[in-house]
Structure 1
């Protein structure tokens, strides 16, 4: 079978190689990959900005959807022909993550999914809703689960809440779609006027062009009658956190999700304390979180936003697109 292998830092070290097709052992399933979606994490691992020491070579990628083609001895949960997606942290079933859960990330430290066949633990796969295509299902394991956990598990989203999403990447657009489906109001910020128009078509109630208004929290306060927003999906990092604190309502929840523009931040502790803000850092979610998300999607029939689909051999081009900033998700198709 063909796999993508990263042999060192940088896209120039990506190679398609051949490996024997694996066979599942007890408690494992072999999935014929149909689609793999890319995340900012994949870009960071390839270009060397990921905050962990990587030992090469590795197979990158973490989010796959496909068909079960073989099952290990004694496995009862899945059968050949089932259509499944991967769970990002293979051994995080529920509750608070621990070192073992954090060591079970697909794409590093575990072998990734940019391969024609992928061997996974039965606890690390879930059947996805039949209304979704494999490409759509592949977008869910990191981006959609992250948005779900931020809004519903940690943020306790209510229909009367106002949610702020930053940019137009996968997490932000899933956050917008999930919040709207729950009846909440969504304000979106972006530096691109063209993307702002597309966000409006998805149902955002207000848009802010942060290239025109860098202190965008002032616009947020105007749009909320001075109250601020109840939840913020903070994907930018760095100095953006200061703006998010200023844009937050009293008692608001700020989910720390990304570090696109900085891994450190300087904030005002008195502002944080006086407004009784909750700042929550986390990394994706558990198997149970993924199950809850899939149930919500089944009810609301949310269609993931896919910006582009690339052939398996064109992975470097797909990573370039990711680097430019997509509108939604980038998917690599295998069949």
Structure 2
């Protein structure tokens, strides 16, 4: 266990095709750290944007990519008394963000600091969330809780908490939307999901229980459809994954006093709508979601494991360079429904 396989991206914007496989020493831990043996990691749209150079926040050169990691504790630092060798854990996305708002963009795994595309990592013990022994989730599902899960949980519970019977709209069928759909359904919400693919919408309904489906290609004014579904009252929480290109319709169909959780920027607009005037007219909350604090991840894990929710992982790739590049390519294609994972250990 003196050496490990590690993958590094030479620089922000180098392209994921330039990932380099390296052999490096297994890190030595300090008193407040643990050595985590990584069993699985999952990809996020953020990882594609980092590789392609479009990420608007800091990325270190020669970074180990990917923020999500689930595994077992291999070694425990002398100052760590609440974790033990063999414990199953996930590490929070931002290692410094234990509670409250994220204070900067300097501590997110797989960007400003080295991430999880490797076999072993030393992490501060306080940033880890222990997984209950009773859970039946596999390693890929657990890894998917890190960025995607906490982001979805933050959108639903980080401000005005979701209440049973409220309506939540999800843009697209990616990992955040499908995880959010599962969480919201388990909490008693009415769910609406949009996609340009009838096949994906059918899967969202049959496999994940979506209540209402909107194809935004055949119904480009999807906000009007959402308002019909809610009988004009509007949607309580919207997962805004499109950004400037979709936020105008989000404001159009959000309930008065509702929340638009801005998560992504998949559909940039050439001209930004007058969001200030639109929001003022609805009295709604437009809230940026920066993944979330460990406190939110703790609550997420308790909810998911307590209800034994089987988090949506569509495809698992192997820990070889060829397979890892295929995983990136598959995520970039947008053909996935749910998470794309890499099995490591």
What TM-score results when the alignment is normalised by the length of structure 2? 0.93
Match of 2:319 in 1: 312
In 2, Cα distance between equivalents of 1:13 and 1:55? 15
The CA distance in 2 between the partners of 1:312 and 1:232, in whole Å, is 35
Q: Residues of 1 paired with 2:319 and 2:311: CA distance? A: 20
Distance (whole Å) between structure 2 residues aligned to residue 225 and residue 132 of structure 1? 38
Work out the CA distance in 2 between the residues paired with 1:270 and 1:103: 33
Q: Number of matched residues?
A: 333
Q: Distance in 2 between matches of 1:13 and 1:3?
A: 14
Within 5 Å, which residues of 2 pair with 1:1-335? 1-8=4-11, 9-99=14-104, 102-129=105-132, 130-201=135-206, 202-262=208-268, 265-313=272-320, 314-325=323-334, 326-335=336-345
Deviations 1:151-199 (A, max 9, x none): 1122420112111001111110111111111111001100111100001
Q: Point out 4+ residue stretches in structure 1 off by more than 6 angstroms.
A: none
Structure 1 unaligned runs (5+)? none
- List per-residue Cα deviations over 1:231-262 (Å, max 9, x = no partner): 10101112200010111111111000001122
Secondary structure of the structure 1 residue equivalent to 2:69: strand
Q: Is the 8 A contact 1:86 1:124 kept in 2?
A: yes
Contact 2:60–2:113, Cα closer than 8 Å, also in 1? no
Structure 1 distance, partners of 2:272, 2:258, is: 19
Q: For the Cα contact (< 8 Å) 2:262–2:288, is it kept in 1?
A: yes
Measure the CA separation in 2 of the matches of 1:156 and 1:273.
22
What TM-score do the two structures reach when normalised by structure 1?
0.96
Residue ranges of structure 2 left out of the alignment (5+ in a row): none
Q: Is the 8 A contact 1:4 1:15 kept in 2?
A: yes
**Does the residue aligned with 1:19 lie in a helix, a strand or coil?**
strand
SS at match of 1:280: strand
* Residues 287-311 of structure 1 deviation map (CA, whole Å, 9 limit, x = unaligned): 1110011111122211111110000
> Aligned equivalents of 2:221 and 2:264: distance in 1?
20
Q: Partners of 1:334 and 1:97 in 2: how far apart? A: 29
SS at match of 1:255: strand
On the 8 A contact 1:250/1:276 being kept in 2, the answer is yes
C-alpha separation between the residues in 2 aligned to 1:219 and 1:282? Answer: 25
Tell me the C-alpha RMSD between the 2 structures.
1.3
CA distance in structure 1 between the aligned counterparts of 2:297 and 2:304, rounded to whole angstroms: 11
**1:212–1:93 distance in 2 versus 1, CA, 3 Å:** same
Cα deviation per residue 1:5-37 (whole Å; 9 max; x = unaligned)? 111311232011100111211111111111001
Cα distance change, pair 30–205 in 1 and its aligned pair in 2 (3 A): same
Q: CA deviation at 1:268?
A: 4.3
3-state SS of 2:258 partner: strand
User: What is the distance in 2 between the residues matched to 1:270 and 1:12?
Assistant: 43
Query: Residue 311 of structure 1 contacts residue 334 of structure 1 at CA under 8 Å; is this kept in 2?
Result: yes
Separation of aligned partners in 2, 1:108 and 1:147: 20
